[in-house]
Copies of this chain bind each other. A is one copy, B any other.
Amino acid sequence: MKSILLIGQSNMAGRGFIEDVPLIHHENIHMLRNGRWQMMAEPIHFDREIAGIGPAASFALEWVKAHSGESLGLIPCAEGGSAMDEWAPDSVLTRHALNEAKFAMESSELIGILWHQGENDSLNQLYKTYAAKLKTLFDHLRKELDAQEIPIIIGGLGDFLGKSGFGASAVEHGEINQLLQQTAEQEDNCYFVTAQNLTANPDGIHLDAVSQRKFGLRYYQAFSQEKSVFEPLSEEDNRLEQLKTEPTAAIRMYLLTKEFALGKLTEEEFFTIYSEIMQGN
């Protein structure tokens, strides 16, 4: 099993509305819970009750499709509303994320880190010290996880910031975006991914579900090509369509069990469908 650490603030945790996109299920995509792996089910993060669609699921689906028979595990450690200062090496968030990654690494090889953060630092000239703090964090993570060579992918901030709702105060997102891009240029094994053309929820700060799916494709493009992505990919809508898969028997069994556990099927209905799946229907 390979694994990916997810860190940053709410747009890495994911706030896309879960009812807006088909959910992604794949037997080879897992997520960390209580230090162990289980099959991924969205939302991957649980930092807030409003956690929803983030970039990691479509990233992971691209990965497993390109690595037939291999498994990928996602390590959810992003925290909504967290500022760069809350990701200092000795902060709780950083220490906790390292702990989670180490549990994951008992049974997987860490192959990458996805970072998305900066909305909380897009005001009051916080950009002046942002890049140094980000570099300190990355150096610390690489050292503590013995991961000098793995790619770190940095997602850019949305163009929609600084305008309305909870995004209104992020007036210096342009400055932060530049620093994110510069950091990717200056650091080894570090790549930038643009958020250009992605759109927000009505709250003006959180990427919507479809945008998060596209963002995941961009993150994967940068990861797999080892190269920054400065423009939206061509035909992103088509690519998302092509990612869709027919559920396998194991996925159908998972979903059936969930429906029964949620009281949406009688025991008789459950066993009828169960038998059908077992018989390959």
Given contacts A46-B46, A49-B41, whether A96 and B35 have CB atoms under 8 Å apart is: yes
A263 part of interface (Cβ distance < 8 Å): yes
Which residue of chain B lies nearest to A37 when distances are taken between CB atoms in the complex? B92
Instruction: Judge whether A150 is part of the interface by a CB distance below 8 angstroms.
Output: no
0/1 per residue, A237-281, Cβ < 8 Å to B? 000000000000000000000101111011100100000000000
Q: Say which one of A121-129, A139-147, A198-206 lies at the interface with B.
A: A198-206
State how many angstroms separate the Cβ of A117 from the closest Cβ of chain B.
13
- Chain copies in the assembled complex: 2
Chain A contacts with B in 68-101, Cβ cutoff 8 A:
77, 79, 92-93, 95-97, 99
Q: Is A2 in contact with chain B by the CB < 8 A criterion?
A: no
> For residues 36 through 54 of chain A, which have their beta carbon under 8 Å from a beta carbon of chain B?
36, 38, 41-43, 46-50
Contact B206 A261 (CB under 8 A): yes
Residues of chain B with a CB closer than 8 A to A103's CB: 92, 95-96
A15 beta carbon closer than 8 Å to chain B: yes
- Chain A residues with CB under 8 Å of chain B are 15, 17, 33-36, 38, 41-43, 46-50, 77, 79, 92-93, 95-97, 99, 103, 106, 164-166, 201-204, 206, 258, 260-263, 265-267, 270
12 contacts across the A-B interface (CB closer than 8 A): A15-B261, A17-B262, A17-B263, A34-B96, A36-B93, A165-B260, A165-B270, A202-B265, A202-B266, A203-B261, A204-B267, A206-B261
